[in-house]
Amino acid sequence: MEAAALFQPIRGHRLSAQIAEQLQLAIFSGAIAEGDRLPPERELAERFGASRASVQEAVHQLEHQGLVTIRRGSGGGAFVIKPDFAKVSTMLQTVIRANRFDPRELYQARLVIEPGVAEIAARAADPGTVAALRGAIAASKLRFERGERTTPVSPNFHFLLAHAAGSDLLEMLVSSLLGVRGVQRLHARPSSDRIRIRAHEEIVDAIERGDGDAAKRAMTAHLNQLLEEVAGKETLP
């Protein structure tokens, strides 16, 4: 089926939004695949029964969402691309900060996601992953022994763990939550650094054994301890 045949004429208000929605559905369903070019604006305008200006606005919406890229010149047009997880992560961080969530909400979200990530990582991890995780712990220990705070490097452990789970989506979600600047500064107490290092060791020990249940329990306990630290703190700046 030709791409244009997927689309139906539109009516009413917010025409560009309706066009964008139909284009999104075509992309998400795979009817228009990664690398494909959208039909020309003139053709889409005729199919939707809308102006070229409305089509242009809809295509720009898709570009802003990271679903298409616009190429100029001969052979140009709007081409479907794979979403850039870094951009999505940045947008999610912006939403989190703009809404000034209570830090406890961030840790509650992490409690929903990261124990499962640890469980998956334990079942998928190889010696290289374990070595990388232990390297992150070693970096925290070095700062601790120097009398420095571990908070600047502590998130690296969680980034690596999300990567070890082998899921771009999980990595994006965890990275977004960890990437909100100010969370570590708000919750951290110097006395908790030793506890945090030990918690990371317990998690990676379980991962090295391939014990997903133990890794999940250890991560849950670790995040609950962090959640206790933020209790009563102010919202993020």
- CATH code at 151? 1.20.120.530
Q: Does residue 237 lie within any of the structural domains?
A: no
Is 191 in contact with 185 (CB distance < 8 Å)? Answer: no
pLDDT in the model for residue 116: 97
Statement to judge: residues 104 and 162 lie in one domain = yes
Final residue of a structural domain among 37, 64, 80 = 80
Q: Does residue 112 lie within any of the structural domains?
A: yes
pLDDT in the model for residue 230: 72
In the chain, which residues have pLDDT < 50? 1, 181-186, 234-237
pLDDT in the model for residue 105: 82
Is 54 in contact with 41 (CB distance < 8 Å)? Answer: no
pLDDT in the model for residue 51: 93
Number of domains in the chain: 2
Statement to judge: residues 128 and 185 lie in one domain = yes
- CATH code at 54? 1.10.10.10
Q: How far apart are CA 48 and CA 15, in angstroms?
A: 9
Q: Does residue 176 lie within any of the structural domains?
A: yes
Statement to judge: residues 59 and 131 lie in one domain = no
Statement to judge: residues 180 and 67 lie in one domain = no
pLDDT in the model for residue 188: 53
Statement to judge: residues 72 and 103 lie in one domain = no
What burial letters (b/e) apply to 168-202, b meaning 16+ CB within 10 Å?
A: eebbbbbbbbbbbeebbeebbeeebbeebbebbbb
Statement to judge: residues 89 and 189 lie in one domain = yes
pLDDT in the model for residue 84: 65
Statement to judge: residues 93 and 191 lie in one domain = yes
pLDDT in the model for residue 48: 94
Whole-model pTM: value is: 0.65
DSSP code per residue over 97-160: HHTT--HHHHHHHHHHHHHHHHHHHHHH--HHHHHHHHHHHHHHHHHHHTT--STTTHHHHHHH
pLDDT in the model for residue 8: 86
Q: Does residue 150 lie within any of the structural domains?
A: yes
pLDDT in the model for residue 125: 87
* Structural domain range at position 72: 3-80
Statement to judge: residues 108 and 176 lie in one domain = yes
